[in-house]
A and B are shown apart, each in its own frame.
Chain A
Amino acid sequence: SYVLTQPPSVSVAPGKTARITCGGNNIGSKSVHWYQQKPGQAPVLVIYYDSDRPSGIPERFSGSNSGNTATLTISRVEAGDEADYYCQVWDSSSDHAVFGGGTQLTVL
């Protein structure tokens, strides 16, 4: 089955740029979606189709996908961005949704 690999944690100072990676075999051929989850809350979609933002998501959130790595970039990080972030793809070979293990973003 398809596997997505994320770093367990990323730390960044306020106002700086955070980059969270999601690795997978030829992931550039798939569409990658990203979710933000704060403690005790349901996940929220922040990026879909690699780089599209749902309405209400700040422009500070952006995404890219190429080769074997997709990246969620958060510019001008704020304290309120502190959360767990998950990448997700649809594995058509098994008709399964696949999530990465999640990355905890800490704002220093």
Chain B
Amino acid sequence: EVQLVESGGGLVQPGGSLRLSCAASGFTFSSYWMSWVRQAPGKGLEWVANIKQDGSEKYYVDSVKGRFTISRDNAKNSLYLQMNSLRAEDTAVYYCARVRGYCSSTSCRYYFDYWGQGTLVTVSS
């Protein structure tokens, strides 16, 4: 059974840092792209970042570029999100998600087939 379990959320002051973790099990972690997706209170879903199987490619939503870093440790079956210079607008539940899909020569068709239960990050003074 595929399981994704996030941890590391909490209350942090504006400008502070936090590191989220996602422990994966039930599948060959090193074979999949992985993502972080967030959801602000009462709002919709927002994709945050993607990382390739070997960590060689990473993509970010513009609002977190230069502040957040996605990484992974395939030996530990773990995904991470290092969040620096946090802002109030980063307050959200952060979900870890497994990426499925493919790329052709002209486009990619990725989706998220399994999600963790989420971890809440609150940025407030």
Contact of A42 among B100, B113, B116 (CB under 8 A): B116
Type the 1/0 row for B97-118, where 1 means its CB is closer than 8 Å to any CB of A: 0001101001111111111111
Q: Enumerate chain A residues within 8 angstroms of B110, measured Cβ to Cβ.
A: 90, 97
- B27 interface residue per 8 A CB criterion: no
Taking a contact as CB atoms closer than 8 A, the residue among B59, B100, B118 that contacts A95 in the complex is B59
The reply to whether B115 and A42 form a contact with Cβ atoms under 8 Å apart is yes
Among the listed A44, A97, A100, which residue makes an inter-chain contact with B44, where contact means beta carbons less than 8 Å apart?
A100
Give chain B's interface residue range (CB within 8 Å of chain A): 20 to 34
A27 to chain B, nearest CB (A): 12
Query: A96 CA to B103 CA in the complex, in Å?
Result: 13
A99 pairs with B47, CB closer than 8 A: yes
Stretch at the interface among A12-20, A28-36, A66-74, A75-83: A28-36
Question: Cα distance A98–B111 when bound, in Å?
Answer: 10
| B70 vs chain A, min Cβ distance (A) | 13
Q: How far is the CB of A77 from chain B (nearest CB, A)?
A: 22
A54 CB → nearest B CB, Å: 7
**Contacts of B50 on A, CB cut-off 8 Å?**
95, 97
- Is the CB of A24 closer than 8 A to any CB of chain B? no
Bin the interface of chain A by size.
Answer: 20 to 34
Inter-subunit contact A31/B109 (CB<8 Å):
yes
- A107 vs B115: C-alpha distance when bound (angstroms): 25
Across the interface, name the chain A residue whose C-beta is closest to B58. A95
A30 x B115 contact (CB < 8 A)? no
Asked if residues A101 and B44 are in contact (CB atoms below 8 Å), the reply is yes
Output the least CB separation between A51 and chain B (Å): 13
Interchain CB contact under 8 A, A30 and B107: yes
Q: Are B109 and A45 in contact (CB under 8 A)?
A: no
| Among all A-B residue pairs, the 7 with the closest Cβ atoms | A97-B47, A33-B111, A31-B109, A92-B107, A42-B115, A102-B44, A90-B110
